[in-house]
Amino acid sequence: MAGSDPIYAIGAASKQTGCHIETIRYYERIGLLPRPGRSASGYRRYGPEHLKRLAFVRRARDLGFTLEEIRRLLRLADRRERCCAQARDLATAHLRDVQVKLKDLRAMARVLKAMIVQCADGTLPDCPLIEALFRTPETLVSRAEASRP
């Protein structure tokens, strides 16, 4: 039909959005993506709105949002009168989670650096790095912080 929106098979939708085929099917199963129509031979047929929604989900995943957070954002996006305050609140809570993770990652980096330093030139008979992995995390963090300049 001339002038109608393009229709994509799942492989083409995957290429257009960068989402794996199995991921697209999964998003359909859990309700993040509406089930597409089917061709006469039973193949899925995705339209531009499906691709737009897949791009939204992929970008949100890239930013670290959970599937449940994405579900809530999509509910807001689907409403005619969107409440930006709710989206902002969700993003603010997510930012706090990211900041906590960054703090944890910095602590892990300090621990790894301290463990690598303990290995010296790598010729010790007992590897301090391997021994450190047998210790509790609390011991490692306290040792890393004690060795900080």
**Domain boundaries along the sequence of the chain:** 1-82, 84-149
Overall CATH class of domain 1-82: mainly alpha
Give pLDDT tens digits for 106-133: 998 988 888 788 777 777 777 777 877 7
The values of phi and psi at residue 46, to 5°, are -100, 140
> Minimal CA–CA distance to 28: which of 6, 46, 5?
46
| CA pair distance 9, 47, nearest whole angstrom | 9
Backbone angles phi, psi at 105, to 5 degrees: -65, -40
Reference 6, options 57, 44, 45; nearest CA is: 45
CB 129 within 8 A of CB 115: yes
Which tens digit of pLDDT belongs to each residue from 19-52? Answer: 999 999 999 999 999 999 999 999 999 999 999 9
**Residue 148 to residue 109: CA distance in whole angstroms:** 12
> For 56-68, how does the pLDDT look when each residue is reduced to its tens digit (9 = 90+)?
999 999 999 999 9
pTM: 0.72
